[in-house]
Structure formats: structure tokens, C-alpha cells
Structure 1
Amino acid sequence: MMAFFRQRVLLLAILVAAVWVDADMKLDCRPDHMTLVWTESRTQVDPSLFRLGNCFPTSVAAREAAFSVALNDCNFKRMVTGDHLLYTNDLTFISSPDSHLLPFSHPVVCAYERPKDWYPLVYDPVFNTYGQGDLVFHIGLMNVDFSGPAASTTFPLGSFIPIMASVEQNRHQPLLLLLEECVAAPTPEMQPGSPFYPIITNKGCLMDSKISGSKFEPRQKSSEIRLSLQTFKFSVDVEVYIHCELVAWDPFGLDNTKKACHYIKDHGWELLDDPEYSNLCDCCDSSCKSRRMRSIASGKHGVVQKAVLGPLTITET
């Protein structure tokens, strides 16, 4: 979808006084990039002082600043509203210390139809995004069939909390996303001595599945993982935060410390990605230690990202 429009704009200064600015903006929104041309009527405005998010102009001319940028650059925010996917940013004029011109800001929006299989990357407060090099991690609360974000952050005791985590890989080699550790706590930051409820421990073992109906759902793609977590009586009617470590890992480098295992009643521990190799889960009831030396910090095999999901509330009814 492409959006193209010209508009005459009247802008309000963001400092002490207000100033009217007469300018012309051309915005051309493409599927993965956009171009913006801002033309000033005032000759004293230096076009090199315009910024689109944190990006400098691609080119400048007399009274004109032009930007040609990708939508994943310049600190564009991506969000969903109804059936539309929006990329939003601000065009700002920063002014110079010795100038009498006041700085100002103008919103920039590219709107697209929301793809049916697209999950929002920004869904405050239940969808969180984290960056790590050229990888972008996401974790969020979903609706019951994982087709979109949860409509509520309140869950009755005994119901299921659908959680999905994913990693955008950009130009990175294909990676497998795992949940290495997850615990529930009453605060957004873990404090020494704080109470917590273990959900996933021992390097990818869904320990909660031994005492509840919690389970990993079948993968739709290697870069995401879905968890149906049955609510637990830990902090009823108060806010709960779920702290996790997400691991983007070499899909051919699984061992008993890099895995996703859940417990199936009358069957035992099962490996999510290949039940034939469920022996990797045998250590879940003891201590999972790698037989091979691997360095996550080196980035050779994978990357670890800490994430916090919440707040959410578990109720008695």
C-alpha cells in the first residue's frame, strides 16, 4: 500500500511561546520505506536542522529538507489500531542556540492495512520490545488462539495465559527462539529476597507443567515460541510480573541446556521441537548441564535477552 499526500500545515511551537509556521510537506509511504520532503516558506530556516526521529536529512536544498529512510530506522514506532498498522514519528526543527527561531515538532504517520497474520510489536502495556544488536525481541500476552493481543490483562484463577515471544532476525542467520528461564514476581524488577513463582527453570524446562496444564504450543515458525500458562495461586488480586530470559539460538545446536521441554501426564518430559530427542529433557528433574563448551556472550551460537511481561492480575473468580 502507498500513501501520498501534500498538506499545508500550521504548527505550534513547543517552547514558551507559540509561532505559526507556514510550510509544505510531501510524504510518500511505501511498504518498507518512506520519503518526506519539507519545504519552508521562511528563508531564514536552516533545513539541515530538521530531524526525522533521530535521523538527519538525506539531502538539503534551499528551504528544503528531504528524508528517504527505512521504516525500521529513525526510531519509528509501530503500532496497531483496529484494522490499521501505523508507523509514527516526529519531524522536528531543533533550531540553533543563536537563532531567534523557536524549535517545533510535527507528527509523521504512515498508515497501512493490518496484515491478518501480523502481531503488534508495540502494545502497551502487554507487549514489550527489546533490541540486541541486529536482533529485536518481543514478548506479549495474546488472545486464546494467539491471533492477536490479549483484550485484558486480568485472568481468572485456573484459566490460561497465552504468551508469545518472538525475535526479528533481519539479516541474521536463522535462529531458534527459546525461553530459558521464567519466574513470576510481584515487582517489575527482581529484588534480593523477593518472593517468586518458578515457571521455566533448569535451562528450558517448563516445571509448572508438572503440576498444572501449562504447555508449549506447537511452533508456527522457529523464530517464535508460544506458551499456554495456567494461572497459579501466587499473588491473587495483585499485580504480577513475569520475568523471562529469551534465547535466540543456533537451531542445530540444541543440547540439554538449550531446549524447550514440557511435562505430559502419563508420558513424561517431551522436547517441543522434536519428541524423538526428548532424552534432552531427562535432566529436567535433576540439573541440566552442557556437555559442550559454548559461549553465548561471543554471539557465535546465540544471544540472550532479559524481558519483563506485565503487569497482569490473577483473580479468584
Structure 2
Amino acid sequence: MTSEALIEVRSLDIEFTTPDGLVRAGTGLDLDIHAGEFVGIVGESGSGKSQLLLALLGLNAKNGRLRGSIRYRGTELVGAGKNELGRIRGDRISMIFQDPMTALNPHLRIGRQLTEGLQRHRKTTAAAARARAVEMLRAVHLTEPERRLDQYPHELSGGMRQRVMIAMALICEPELILADEPTTALDVTVQAQILELLQELRQRFGTAVVMVTHDLGVVAQIADRVAVMYGGRIVERGDVDDIFYRSRHPYTEGLRRAIPRLGEDRAARLATIPGNPPNLAQLPRGCPFAPRCAYHMPRCDAEMPTLETVAGTHRKACFYDGPLADAPEVLA
């Protein structure tokens, strides 16, 4: 990418003070997000993916602390006040949460929830805001949009609620949408529809999308770039082809090999990564993946590898520089 970045994350640490000690949900994170691109963030549960998204909007819990830098078009967001963040949230940067049933207010009609942000940021009249809400519900292919505005969240299906969440995220025409596993609670057919919708709206409105997901197959199909997180760190990042067909980190290799593939012997054992993810309150001194790594060497226990250039924009944080197992033949 050569265009100016919308978001520049530099040396970002995300920490939480808990009764069990300091939890490091993100350490030394570096990431650029450019206009119109689709960035996938992948990794196991507890790797820090969702906390990174929340940090971009300053939505971390009260016991959390951010150190480092998050710049949106040159404006520093780390340490920014509520008013400054309030001007950006929902307007320039929007978020689609994982569970629309808990993200939507069950006591308010859909119309009220859709128009609230628009009236706040754009100062439009109630009539103009309602007309815009109908327009956005049509854009996300929700049937009978006028009637949906007068309904409550519990009257809609899971897929319909997720479409409402996407309409809410898009209503102010933001430059960036953050999507935290937006298809997790949906059946396979609706998942495909939502992902197709995100792609369509991205192309139509030119909105950049950053999506957290466990589904590497989804990322292989729709992402431009991918960041792989483990133990609160980005361990590999690059173009989607770099990550899926030329990956250089053993953890990325393990994730790829764990993808079920069509045509595989049903009796064959699914590849897994041995061991468990690290406790973010008790991270090792060296590489957090070292205890589970097939390419482990003594240096891994003593030093933390940093992101180093493989080629072009492809980066890895690993001391091992030899060949990895072959990439899966079919991912998309």
C-alpha cells in the first residue's frame, strides 16, 4: 500500500490491572489500515484481537491502559478526551459487534437506534434521519425497511439484527468499519450473505473494513491483508497470499494446517496445534509460542522476536528461518 494510512498503530501496549496481576492483552502492536482495504485479524481466543479493535475506538474497560500511539489521519487517539473520541466514534469509525442481540438496546425501536447517531453527528431533522435509515436498511437488503424501523430487536431474526448493526455502522458513511466476528452467531447461509454484503458495501461506499475472525477460510476469500495475533502480539502480517501460501511463522502454519478441506479422508485426523494459548497475565520471557512450536530453539526462550521483513510488506516475528510445511492446496 502506498496511500496514506487512515489508522497508524505504533508500539501499542494494551494492559489491564486485575486481582490476578497485570494482563498484557497487546504488546508492541504495529499496524496500518488504508482507505478501502479489507484487513483480517486472525488468531485463537485470547490472543488480543478484540481488544485491539476496542483500543482503536478507546472502548477498553476502566481497568485498562493504553500506551503507544494510535493515529487517525494524524490525530492521536491514545489519551484523547471523550469529546474528541465522541466526534470520531460512529461517524468516521464505526463498529459491528459480535452479538447484535446484546449490542442493540432491547427497549428501543430499530428506527430510534438507527437515527440517533445520524442526528448527533449530522444534525439532521427527524424526518431526514428516518428517510436515511430506510435507505440504509434497503442497502443492507433488509425487507420491508419502513416496517422494520418500528420493530424491536427481539422481533427480528439473528441475520436481520446483524444487518441492522451493519446499517447502523454505515449510516454516517464512515471511512472505517471495525467488525468483531460479525458472523459467529449466524448459520452458514446467513454468514455467507453477511460477508457478501460487507464486500458489496465496501465497494459501493469505499469503506475500509477490519474484521476479527477465527475463520481463516473467510479471510482467504475476502481480505486484502492479514495480521496473525498470538499471545497479544502480531506474529505475522502481509498480503493475503503471503499469509496463506508463503507464510513464514510456525503459528500461522499451524492455523493453516488445521483448516478442514474438501476431499480429505473423513477418517483422517484433523491437524491441531499442541498445547494451549498462553496466560496473558503470565507471559514467558521469550516467544509466547515457543512451548508449542515444532521449530523451537534455545534462543526462543530467552528473547522476544520482533517483526522483521520477509519480502515487500510481509513481516514475521520468528527466529526460525528455514522452510515450513507446504501450504494447503485449497483455502478459498
Confirm or deny a common fold (TM above 0.5).
Answer: no
- TM-score when scaled to structure 2? 0.24
- TM-score when scaled to structure 1? 0.25
Quick check: which one's helix share is greater?
Answer: 2
Quick check: which one's strand share is greater?
Answer: 1
- Larger Cα-atom Rg: 1
Q: Which has the higher contact order (CA 8 A, sep 6+)?
A: 2
